[in-house]
Amino acid sequence: MIKLFELRSERELSQRQMAKVMNVSQGTYNNWENSNTQPSIEQLIALAKFFEVSVDYLIGNSESYSGDTAIGLKSHKILSLFNSADKEIQDAVLVILSHKK
């Protein structure tokens, strides 16, 4: 599943972290990512929900996110960066975002 690597990398997660999220071994997750084995339908659905993409996108039947999914993924990245920033930077970002023209 080529898309698993892309999606995991975009979220800056390790295979170990994803294995924990999916309640499988790291080896099992690695096998999914390298197309050695495939997740079950239930696991595919759980992966799609976690990454906020369609199952079609996840398995390579679609090349683009739906509009809402792209926004969700981008929002997750922004929130992750914001949460990892120092308090001073967070405060500055909030001031900038609160500024109205």
Task: Write down the CATH number for the domain with range 2-98.
Answer: 1.10.260.40
Judge whether residue 95 has pLDDT over 60.
yes
Q: What DSSP element (H or E) covers 23?
A: none
pLDDT tens-digit profile of 39-72? 999 999 999 889 888 888 888 887 765 535 555 5
32: its two tokens:
């999914």
pLDDT value at position 100? 66
Q: Count of alpha carbons within 13 Å of 68, Cβ hemisphere only?
A: 3
pLDDT at 23: 95
pLDDT value at position 38? 93
Residue 70 amino acid letter: A
pTM over 0.85: no
